[in-house]
Amino acid sequence: MVAGNKVMFVVNPLSGGGRTNKQWQKVESLLCKKNYCFDVQLTKRTMHACQITSDALKNGYDHIIAVGGDGTINEVVNGFFQNADAKKHEAALSVLSMGTGSDFSRILPISTGPEYAEKLLTDCREKFCDVIKADFTAWDGSSETRYLINVADVGIGCETCIRLNDKSKAMGGFLSFLINFLGVVFSFKSPEFTVEVDGERFYSGKSSLVAINNGKYFGGGMMIAPLAQIDDGRMDITLLKDANTLDFLLALPSVYKGNHLTHPKIMLTQGRQVKISSPVKVGLEMDGETPGMVDVIFEVLPSAIKLLI
């Protein structure tokens, strides 16, 4: 399929510790030399990609290409849903992965270079993708709604992201997440959670991690949900019961390979709605960003966005 005729590249130049800016310049140079028609906007602040995308859709752009990592993709996705007038199945999203984690991109047949960017403008195919709506508590205590396309979690994954997002990501997704995970694991205490799936109680008690999965990967390459599909109309829920430091360290290699599902402290299920509550203040991570905390309600929106890949 040939992409739409109004294309906007939304570029986060700070993504990947600044590597995206250098990579993007090479991509843009090649596309300009070949006289392709497109527009570019660079993000300048948090959630700027969301506003750029919303405005672009209002102005008739029908193909938005997110250039960066998972956080950039997340903001662009939110821009699709911020624009209530946009017809969701007419405008399309593409990803030019250049960020730190790039976990969503791992499940798609995509690349990072100029050749793939050219393919997105000339010869790509459609794939519809589920999106997850999250109603949660912002850090200031207000109610907020955001959307995610890959993975959300509460517990040790979120605590690692909070630590990671305050530090340099120059080492890339795998090493950055692993080093910060090891910095968290020795002091981490599992909070109390109640998890309800499709209106029924799934778990109540101490839990080290609850991951809500549309995609398979998080944390710079951990295959947290190897059975998840982005177009099945369901969320995969991966719950780790109260784990100690030794549990984490012994199980870590198997998570990267997706071989952890038989671990005795792992619980799995699927659902269309998930509610997570806690009696204590617990952070919430979505697509690598940490915009708030539980209580949170997740709802899957089947085939809610069109990908061009």
47-78: pLDDT as tens digits: 999 999 999 999 999 999 999 999 999 999 99
Mean pLDDT to the nearest integer, 74-101 = 81
- For the chain, give every residue range classified as CATH 2.60.200.40: 131-302
Q: Answer yes or no: is pLDDT of 87 > 60.
A: no
What's the mean per-residue pLDDT of the chain?
91
Q: Answer yes or no: is pLDDT of 172 > 80.
A: no
Categorize the per-residue pLDDT at 16 as very low, low, confident or very high, splitting at 50, 70 and 90.
Answer: confident
Mean pLDDT to the nearest integer, 259-287 = 97
Detail the DSSP E strand segments found in the chain: 7-11, 39-42, 63-68, 92-97, 126-138, 143-148, 151-155, 192-197, 200-213, 235-241, 266-271, 273-277, 283-286, 289-308
Mean pLDDT to the nearest integer, 300-308 = 96
Residue 113 confidence (pLDDT): 80
- For the chain, give every residue range classified as CATH 3.40.50.10330: 7-124
User: Quick one: CATH architecture of 131-302?
Assistant: Sandwich (2.60)
Predicted TM-score of the model (pTM): 0.92
Separation of first and last alpha carbons in the chain: 10
Residue 202 confidence (pLDDT): 98
Going from the C-alpha of 258 to that of each of 2, 5, 108, 247, 254, the distances in angstroms are: 35, 40, 17, 16, 6
User: Quick one: CATH architecture of 7-124?
Assistant: 3-Layer(aba) Sandwich (3.40)
Categorize the per-residue pLDDT at 118 as very low, low, confident or very high, splitting at 50, 70 and 90.
Answer: very high
Q: Side chain identity at 305, as an amino acid letter?
A: I
Going from the C-alpha of 181 to that of each of 27, 156, 267, 302, 309, the distances in angstroms are: 33, 8, 21, 32, 32
Distance CA 84, CA 62 (A): 15
Q: Answer yes or no: is pLDDT of 148 > 70.
A: yes
